[in-house]
Amino acid sequence: MQPLSEIGRWLLLVGLILVLIGGLLLLLGRVPGLGRLPGDFVWERGNIKIFAPVGTMLLLSIILTILLNLIVRWLR
């Protein structure tokens, strides 16, 4: 296989992954309550607002870990 076609395949794969991540982010923005879970901290002082979605990130991390483990076990 020629080196340029290999690079082209990798670029297509990376592009597809980015499109999937973008679509997932669009869908997650429509989930009610996401970003307002217990553990999501908001600090406001004057014109500054700091948002730290610790609870939401913990929930997403657990869900993605379970999902990826199931996928890896299924592919074996």
pTM: 0.61
Q: CA dist 12 to 4, 20, 25, 60, 68, Å? A: 12, 12, 20, 27, 22
What is the pLDDT at residue 65?
Answer: 96
Write phi, then psi, for 44 (nearest 5 degrees). Answer: -125, 135
Q: Which pLDDT tens digit goes with each residue over 22-54?
A: 998 888 778 888 788 899 999 999 999 999 999
Every domain of the chain and the residues it spans: 1-30, 35-76
**Coil, strand or helix: which one is 38?**
coil
What is the pLDDT at residue 75?
Answer: 85
* 1 has pLDDT over 70: no
Q: Which pLDDT tens digit goes with each residue over 50-70?
A: 999 999 899 989 999 999 999
Mean pLDDT of the chain: 90
What is the pLDDT at residue 28?
Answer: 79
Look at residues 18, 22, 19, 31 and name the one whose alpha carbon lies nearest to residue 63: 31
